[in-house]
Amino acid sequence: MHPNRTRPGAVIGAVAVACDRPGRGRRMMVAMKAPRAAARRPLPGSPFNAPAPAPPAETFAVHDQVTHDRYGLGVVLSVEDHAVLVDFRPQQRRIPLPCAKLTKL
């Protein structure tokens, strides 16, 4: 048999080929659909999960009291686009944002 031809009555995927047998009439053979598996829940630690949304960046204003893990308690003197100037007595520090060590009180 030629590889591109199918024999009568053969089932290809979900498509059926008509039978050409005399005396039986033309019937279609229908293949059964495979059962669908239940939806799987993703594992919480899977690297294929979507990353968690980033927490909103903390915004600072002039005269806000802040604390820093290294420098301690301070007061915001000025706010720039990507940094804040904080007075930690006796020194002033420019802290780049976002900074996990700087917390607004």
Residue 32: predicted pLDDT: 73
Most confident listed range (1-15, 40-54, 79-93): 79-93
Q: What is the pLDDT of residue 22?
A: 56
pTM, full prediction: 0.49
The b/e string for 15-40 (b: 16+ C-beta within 10 A; e otherwise) is eeeeeeeeeeeeeeeeeeeeeeeeee
Q: 7-20, pLDDT tens digit by residue?
A: 555 555 545 455 55
Among 28, 49, 29, smallest CA distance to 40 is for 49
The rounded percent of the chain whose pLDDT value lies above 70 is 72
| For range 84-102, the mean pLDDT | 92
8 or 75, higher pLDDT: 75
Evaluate whether 68 touches 61 at the Cβ level (below 8 Å). Answer: no
pLDDT for 10: 53
